[in-house]
Amino acid sequence: MIKQRFIDSMQHLHRDALAGSVAGIMAVPLTVGICLMSDYPVMTGLYTVIFATIISYLAYLVRPGNYVGTPGVAAGLAPALALGVSVFGMENMPFVIFLTAIFQMIVWRYKLEKYILKLVPHYLVEGLLAGVGLKIALKFLPFLYDIQHETDEWLNLERELILILSAVSFVMFVLLYKYYQKKMPALPYIVIMTTGFGLTFFMPLPLLTIEDVPFKLVLPLPHFGSLSGSEAVWLIAKMVGYAMMLGTIDVIEQVMSNVAIVKLDPLKRKCDSNNSLLAIWVANMGATFFGGMTNLDGLAKSTTNAVAGAITKTSNLFTALVLILVVFFPEILAYTPEYALGIIMVYSGWKMIANIAHVRAEGRYALILAGVCGFLVFEFGIFEGLLLVLFGHAIIQYIFMRRLGKSTKQVWATFRIAIREKKLAQLMDLEDVLTEDQIPVLTKWLAAMNKHDIKLIKELYTKGAVFTPAFSSNIHYNIDEIEDYYKYLFSHEGVYLKKLDLHMQKHGAIRINSGHYGIGWIHEGKDESHVLRFCMVVEKNKIVTHHTSTLPTGDVPLNKWLGARDPKHPEFII
C-alpha cells in the first residue's frame, strides 16, 4: 500500500506542487502571527511547520488520515502556549509539549478521541475558539496604528496615514476574501503582504523584528533550577495537567477540522481521524527535540491547499519547501510591515468569533453556554475557562435530569450510557433537547428520529398536522396517519437522519424551517441514503405542516452531496 500511495502521489505531482506552494505562501504570515501571539520565536514556528508537513506526508504513506489537509501551528492554541511560556518558562516548554505528545499518543493508541468529544460538546469548543479569537484580535489591533516615530501628540500625521492605510487595506482584504475564498483563498494574503512589502520603500512603516534562532537539537528535559524536591514534584504535576489540557484541545480541533477537510477533498475520500492523530503526536514529539510548537491540520491552510488543486499529501512537501526558502532568506520577513500582519491576524480572530453563530441551530441553551465559555476563556484563560463552563454544564444537566424525576443513580447511569454510545450525541443533551420548550422543534424532531422513538415524534405534531413525505404517494392528514408512516419508515434497519443545511424564518408566532437533510438506512446489508428537501411549519412548538421531497435533478445519496451549486446537479431544470 505504501508503494501504491507513493505512485499515486507522483501521478498528481504537478497539481500537488502548485497547491502546496500556494499554501506555503499563505502559511508564512499566519505562522508569524501565531508565533507572536504564542510568545515563541518566529523561526521556531517555521521549523515546526516544516517538520510537521514532512511528517504529515510520511504518515499519509503509512496510515492516511485526511488527504488534502496542511498542518501548521494552531491559532486556537496560541494563548495556551503563551500561558505555558509564562508559567513554566521557555526552557521547560519542550518537556511540556513532550508530555502533550505522550497524552496524544495514548489517545491515538486507544482511540479515546470519541470520549473526549462526548465530554466536551462541540458548541463549547466553538465558544472556546471565540474567546481565543477575541484575544488574538485585541493582541494585534495595535499593529493597525503603530508608528515608527512617537510624539507627544498621539494622533499625528504619521499615525493618520497608518490608520487610513490600515482601514483601506482591511476593507480590501475582506472583499478579496469574500469573493475569492472559494477560488483563490490565498489571494488576499498575497495581495496584503506584497502591497505592504512594496510600501516599505516609500513611507515609514513599523516592521517586524525577527529573532534569529538557529536550528539545534536538544533533549526535551525539564529544568528545575533551585527548586526543592517537593516544589519540583508540584511543578511536574502542573505540567501534566497543562499538557492534558493542551492535548485535549489539539485533538478536538483536529477531529473537527477533519469534518471540514473531507468536504474539501476533490475525490471525497473518507477521513480516518485516528490516523490524523498519529501524524500530530509524532510531529509534536519530534518537534520537542528542537524546541518546536504544537501542530494540527488548520482549516485556513487546508482550504487553500484543496482549492488550489491538491490531490494528495505530497503538496505538504512543497509547503515545506516554501518555508525552507524563508528560513534561508529571513530578510523576506524583515520587510514585513506590522499593519499587514495585523490585518491578517485581526481578521483571523474575528472569523473565530463569528463562527459561534453556527451554534444558533443547536438551540438557545447551547448558544448561551458557548457565549459564556468564550467570555470565561477570554477572562480567565483556556484551561480555567473550559473547566468552569464544563463544571457549570454538568451541574445544569444534573439539576435538569433530577427535575425530570431521575435519581442520582439514574443520572449516573445515563452518563455511563452516553459515554458508551458510538454516536457523538450525548444522551444527557438528548433529554434536554426533547423536553425543553426553548429548544427548536426541528432539533427535537431530528433527535427523536435518530432515537427511533415514535411516541416522542407524535408529541411534536398537532393532531390535525399535514405531512407530505417523499417516500409515500399519500398525504397524511392527521396524527394517526402520520404515526402509521413512521412505523413503516422505522421498519427499515438502522434509519438515521443528518441535517445538511437550514434556513429559518419567523412570521409572528409561526416559524418556518426549510433546507436539506439526509436520511438513510440499511438495505440488504448496504447503506442506502437520500438527500431530501424539506419545509416544516411550526406554531406554538408544534409541527403544523411538514413537506419533504427528493431533488428534482435526480436522487443524490448522502455521501455524494456537494451542495446546491454542484455543477453536476444544477440549481434549475427545465
Residue 196 sits in the same domain as residue 301: yes
C-alpha cell at 405: 424525576
Question: Which range of residues forms the domain containing residue 343?
Answer: 2-211+228-353
The total number of structural domains that make up the chain = 2
Q: d(Cα 468, Cα 568) in Å, to the nearest integer?
A: 27
Lowest average pLDDT, out of 243-252, 356-365, 450-459, goes to: 356-365
CATH label of the domain that carries residue 457: 3.10.450.50
Tell me the pLDDT tens digit for each residue of 274-310.
999 999 999 999 999 999 999 999 878 888 888 888 9
Tell me the pLDDT tens digit for each residue of 190-236.
899 999 999 998 888 999 888 889 999 999 999 998 888 899 999 99
Mean pLDDT of all residues in 263-280: 89
Residue 338 sits in the same domain as residue 479: no
* Distances in whole angstroms, Cα of residue 353 to Cα of each of 63, 170, 365, 371: 34, 17, 18, 10
Mean per-residue pLDDT over the chain, rounded: 86
328 within some domain: yes
pLDDT at 361: 65
Percent of the chain whose pLDDT exceeds 70: 93
Domain boundary, last residue among 353, 375, 394? 353
C-alpha cell at 224: 528545575
Q: How many CB atoms lie within 10 A of CB 41?
A: 18
Residue 347 sits in the same domain as residue 446: no
Dihedral of alpha carbons 92, 93, 94, 99, sign: positive
Mean pLDDT of all residues in 398-414: 78
423 within some domain: no
Place of cell 513599523: 206
C-alpha cell at 488: 413503516
482 within some domain: yes
Of 363 and 255, the structure prediction assigns the larger pLDDT to 255
Q: d(Cα 137, Cα 131) in Å, to the nearest integer?
A: 10
54 within some domain: yes
Position 39 confidence tier, pLDDT thresholds 50, 70, 90:
very high
Place of cell 393532531: 463
Residue 349 sits in the same domain as residue 444: no
pLDDT at 439: 65
pLDDT at 364: 79
Residue 331 sits in the same domain as residue 455: no
pLDDT at 311: 93
Q: How many CB atoms lie within 10 A of CB 62?
A: 12
Q: Contact at 8 Å (CB) between 73 and 35?
A: yes
pLDDT at 420: 59
291 within some domain: yes
Residue 89 sits in the same domain as residue 184: yes
pLDDT at 412: 82
Domain boundary, last residue among 309, 336, 353? 353
- What does 274-303 look like in DSSP terms, one character per residue? HHHHHHHHHHHHHHGGGT----EE-HHHHH
| Range of 114-128, 189-203, 375-389 with top mean pLDDT | 189-203
502 within some domain: yes
Place of cell 502559511: 27
pLDDT at 540: 86
407 within some domain: no
Position 358 confidence tier, pLDDT thresholds 50, 70, 90:
confident
Res. 142: pLDDT tops 90: yes
Lowest average pLDDT, out of 146-155, 365-374, 403-412, goes to: 403-412
Question: How many residues can be counted in the chain?
Answer: 574
Tell me the pLDDT tens digit for each residue of 408-456.
887 787 677 666 554 433 433 444 444 445 567 888 898 888 888 888 8
Mean pLDDT of all residues in 527-537: 90
* Distances in whole angstroms, Cα of residue 335 to Cα of each of 149, 196, 205, 332: 18, 8, 10, 6
Domain boundary, last residue among 302, 323, 353? 353
CB-side exposure of 112: number of CA atoms within 13 Å? 14
Mean pLDDT of all residues in 104-112: 94
Mean pLDDT of all residues in 496-512: 86
pTM above 0.75, yes or no: no
- Element at 231 (helix H, strand E): helix 229-264
Position 570 confidence tier, pLDDT thresholds 50, 70, 90:
very low
pLDDT at 4: 83
157 within some domain: yes
